[in-house]
Amino acid sequence: MKTKFSRRNALKSIAIGSGILSLGGVASSFAAINYIENNTLPKSQKNNINHSVCRWCFQDIPLDEFAQKCAAMGIQAIDLLKPSEWNTVEKHGLVCSMATDDFANIEHGFNDPKNHKNLQEKYRGLIDKASEHNIKNVIVFSGNRRGMDEQTGIKNCSKGLKPLLKYAQRKNVNLVMELLNSKVNHPDYMADHTEWGVSLAEEMGEENFKLLYDIYHMQVMEGDIIATIKKHHKHINHYHTAGVPGRHEIDESQELFYPAIMRAIEETGFDGFVAQEFIPTNPDELESLKRAFEICDV
């Protein structure tokens, strides 16, 4: 088994810590449409799902090479890229499907008012850059609880995010909070259940605040994946995948049946991106990625 790193360590090493406005997720589809018009997709690709992949899981492959291989495979986007990386993927006809930057931090997020001023200033800069590149999604994090109760966390996040959401709305950008598990990978993280994220979205009532529903993380925390997607899909504009347990390949070695999950996502009318975020155990990492792409291409 090839030794790989955790996302926590990868985020630190690459300095990163998922509807648009009234049109729902339409703008995110434009990126995929532009890709299709300018690239030749594999003839077998069904094109019901817009495919992406998280960069950090494959960061030992040079980005230029990785983007080229992804494009040839039929993948349309790469997730969790910083501004300095956007041009590299764009020259291969891909888009950045979820933007981040050095300051984005899983543990220190919007639930702590002490972070608001600094985060608002830095996120405005990232929103500006994303808008210039027609990137529709910028990732945000709740931060860790540190003894904070759920309602206080919602109130604090809402207070910190609302001014940014108004700004991002004018730039045609979504702010997307990722749901992560606090049981295995991110101890004490606050946005660790779908209902909490939905409550935050409803508290703010802004159409350009959405959730990144990480299927792996939410299986670890709460299960009931398909029913949850069907219930709360209007608040979700981005998905991540990985096998459970272990966060590895999404093949028959793990407990989730991804073809059924992808069909459920498609049936909601979803037109955002599904990004692979598994840690390969296969020495041929790109072969694992190709297999995951085929599994999700329903």
124-136 pLDDT, tens digit each: 999 999 999 999 9
pLDDT value for 45? 74
Q: What is the pLDDT of residue 274?
A: 98
pLDDT (average), residues 53-57: 98
Is residue 238 situated within a structural domain? yes
- Domain assignment present for 60: yes
pTM reported for the whole predicted model: 0.86
CATH of the domain at 268: 3.20.20.150
Task: Cite the DSSP H helix spans in 4-100.
Answer: 7-14, 26-38, 63-73, 83-90
Q: Which two tokens stand for residue 50?
A: 């817009």
Averaged pLDDT, 272-292: 97
Q: Give 60 or 27, the one with higher predicted confidence.
A: 60
Q: Do 216 and 242 form a contact (C-beta atoms < 8 A)?
A: yes
Over range 163-190, report the average pLDDT.
98
**For residue 272, is it within any domain?**
yes
> Residue 87: inside a domain, yes or no?
yes
Q: What is the mean pLDDT of the chain?
A: 89
Q: How do residues 216-246 score in pLDDT, each as one tens digit?
A: 999 999 999 999 999 999 999 999 999 999 9
3-state secondary structure of 16: coil
Instruction: Using pLDDT thresholds of 50, 70 and 90, give the confidence band for residue 47.
Output: confident
172 contacts 20 by C-beta, under 8 angstroms: yes
Is 22 part of any domain?
yes
Q: Which two tokens stand for residue 42?
A: 């594999």
Determine how β-strand 273-276 pairs with β-strand 77-81. unpaired
Whether 1 maps to a domain, the answer reads no
Distance of alpha carbon 250 from alpha carbon 114, whole angstroms:
39
In a domain? residue 2: no
pLDDT for residue 44: 53
Read off the pLDDT of residues 114-125 as tens digits, 9 standing for 90 and up. Answer: 999 999 999 999
C-alpha 77/C-alpha 71 separation (Å) is 8
CA dist., res. 32 & res. 12, Å (int) = 29
pLDDT of residue 39: 42
What residue numbers bound the domain in which 279 lies? Answer: 7-296
**Which pLDDT value is given to residue 32?**
38
23: pLDDT strictly greater than 60: no
Q: What kind and span of H or E run contains 238?
A: strand 236-241
Work out the angle between the directed axes of helices 258-267 and 285-296 (0-180°, nearest 10): 50
Say what the pLDDT of residue 279 is: 98
State the average pLDDT over residues 208-213: 98
**At 82, which helix (H) or strand (E)?**
none
**pLDDT at residue 7 greater than cutoff 60:** no
- pLDDT grade for 211, boundaries at 50, 70 and 90: very high
- Can you read off the two tokens belonging to residue 203? 């508290």
Query: Is the pLDDT at 30 greater than 50, yes or no?
Result: no
pLDDT in tens, 65-102: 999 999 999 999 999 999 999 999 999 999 999 999 99
Q: How many domains does the chain have?
A: 1
Let me know if residue 239 belongs to a domain.
yes
